[in-house]
């Protein structure tokens, strides 16, 4: 079987793969949809095991994959459903730590080739953090190959005992919607008007309202922007456990910040933005960073995890947790249209060098080819 064409010759059955997702964050779910589409187009049978809401949002069946509802749980019923779905698979590919651990349980006693893609690092401290490290070691040692979406994730997998850990070329599907080339401004103006950002700069952050995202630091920085004229509006799109805490701070300190909740149109929101902000304590291949560079929106991000390698010189990088540096960088960029245009140009060039969807599928197929060749199991 060649990685470029997985349609089996001489009447043999085509390769059947099972893709396993946990809750399915934006990056891993978009990747699995793109991967499923590319595999199906090359004659591979694909089943996606994921919660029903993930298929509702990402439409895996719409690209030709089968979908099996498997709840995000390691309960016996969930593991049993996954085990049944993998019964006649030639290969199982899990995405993320929790999905990978459930897959290890489901494949217990079987010799089905199993590989993992780690898209992100589990964020937890204390007893929960210790448990997650144990799960990482269990998964890393069980997988034939661990693919990491950044070099530090590859190093982490090796440290956890992976037999074979490699850097994965993971693409982000390009936005489907495009503005009319002769008059793109009406869409941007309409979005800004709806957000209340007419005649003032619009800053955008997108991501779950979790502690590691650094939104507390972002609100600290927003205090400095109140002194600008006009005052920038910061819009944060996402849901999560910090919503009530952030809402109280915004109201108590009268910050120029709006919490939008879940964003159904991140492309449209970014298209309206003057700057995109990413303040996390750790990221791998951040979806926001990729979307901002693709959209030619200047990005200010923390210099953590895989971000420096991902963006190169196409973004302004600041230390994590430094509200003063973040605030000063934003103020400087808002006053320097030339630098913003330079970042937009660099962002487009940087994004053009990232792996394409076809290249990502080809790399994954080459790994599948290794693991399904006749001979002793790796």
Q: What is the pLDDT of residues 80-89, one digit of tens each?
A: 999 999 999 9
- What count of other Cβ atoms lies within 10 Å of the Cβ of residue 243? 15
| β-pairing verdict for 233-237 and 202-206 | parallel
Q: Give me the residue spans of the domains in the chain.
A: 16-171+356-372, 185-352
Q: Please state which architecture CATH assigns to domain 185-352.
A: 3-Layer(aba) Sandwich (3.40)
Q: Which residues pair with 68 in a beta bridge?
A: 49
Fold match, 16-171+356-372 / 185-352? yes
**Overall pTM surpassing 0.95 (yes/no):** no
- Model confidence over 38-72: pLDDT tens digits? 999 999 999 999 999 999 989 999 999 999 999 98
pLDDT (average), residues 98-113? 96
- What count of other Cβ atoms lies within 10 Å of the Cβ of residue 197? 23
Q: Are 243 and 317 in contact, with CB atoms under 8 Å apart?
A: no
Q: Which residues pair with 233 in a beta bridge?
A: 202
Pick 170 or 238 by higher pLDDT: 238
- Model confidence over 139-165: pLDDT tens digits? 999 999 999 999 989 999 999 999 999
Q: What is the sign, positive or negative, of the torsion defined by CA atoms of 61, 67, 73, 74?
A: negative
Class of domain 16-171+356-372: alpha beta
pLDDT of residue 125: 72
> What percent of the chain has pLDDT above 90?
75
pLDDT of residue 310: 94
pLDDT of residue 378: 45
pLDDT of residue 111: 95
Residue 10 in this model has a pLDDT that exceeds 90: no
Pick 345 or 175 by higher pLDDT: 345
CA distance 30 to 24: 9
| β-pairing verdict for 45-50 and 202-206 | unpaired
């Amino acid at each position: 079987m060649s990685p470029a064409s997985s349609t089996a010759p001489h009447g043999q059955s085509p390769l059947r793969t099972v893709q396993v997702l946990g809750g399915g964050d934006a990056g891993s779910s978009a990747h699995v949809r793109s991967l499923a589409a590319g595999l199906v187009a090359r004659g591979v049978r694909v089943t996606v095991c994921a919660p029903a809401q993930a298929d509702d949002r990402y439409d895996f069946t719409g690209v030709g994959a089968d979908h099996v509802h498997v709840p995000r749980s390691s309960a016996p019923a969930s593991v049993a459903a996954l085990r049944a779905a993998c019964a006649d698979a030639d290969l199982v590919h899990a995405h993320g730590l929790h999905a990978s651990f459930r897959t290890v349980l489901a494949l217990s006693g079987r010799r089905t080739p199993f590989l993992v893609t780690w898209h992100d690092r589990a964020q937890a401290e204390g007893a929960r953090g210790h448990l997650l490290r144990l799960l990482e070691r269990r998964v890393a040692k069980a997988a034939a190959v661990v693919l990491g979406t950044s070099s530090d994730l590859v190093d982490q997998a090796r440290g956890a005992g992976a037999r074979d850990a490699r850097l994965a070329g993971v693409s982000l599907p390009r936005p489907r919607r495009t503005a009319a080339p002769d008059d793109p401004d009406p869409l941007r103006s309409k979005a800004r008007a709806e957000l209340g950002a007419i005649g003032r700069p619009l800053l955008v952050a997108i991501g779950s309202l979790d502690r590691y995202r650094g939104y507390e630091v972002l609100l600290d920085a927003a205090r400095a922007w109140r002194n600008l004229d006009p005052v920038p509006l910061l819009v944060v799109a996402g849901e999560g456990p910090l919503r009530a805490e952030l809402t109280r701070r915004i109201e108590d300190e009268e910050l120029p910040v709006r919490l939008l909740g879940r964003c159904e149109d991140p492309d449209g929101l970014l298209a309206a933005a003057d700057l995109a902000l990413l303040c996390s304590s750790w990221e791998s291949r951040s979806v926001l960073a990729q979307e901002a560079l693709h959209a030619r929106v200047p990005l200010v991000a923390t210099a953590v995890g895989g971000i420096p390698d991902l963006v190169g010189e196409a973004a302004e990088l600041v230390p994590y947790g430094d509200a003063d540096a973040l605030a000063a960088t934003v103020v400087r960029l808002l006053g320097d249209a030339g630098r913003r245009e330079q970042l937009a140009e660099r962002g487009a060039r940087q994004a053009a060098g990232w792996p394409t969807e076809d290249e990502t599928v080809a790399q994954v197929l080459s790994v599948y080819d290794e693991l399904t060749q006749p001979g002793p199991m790796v």
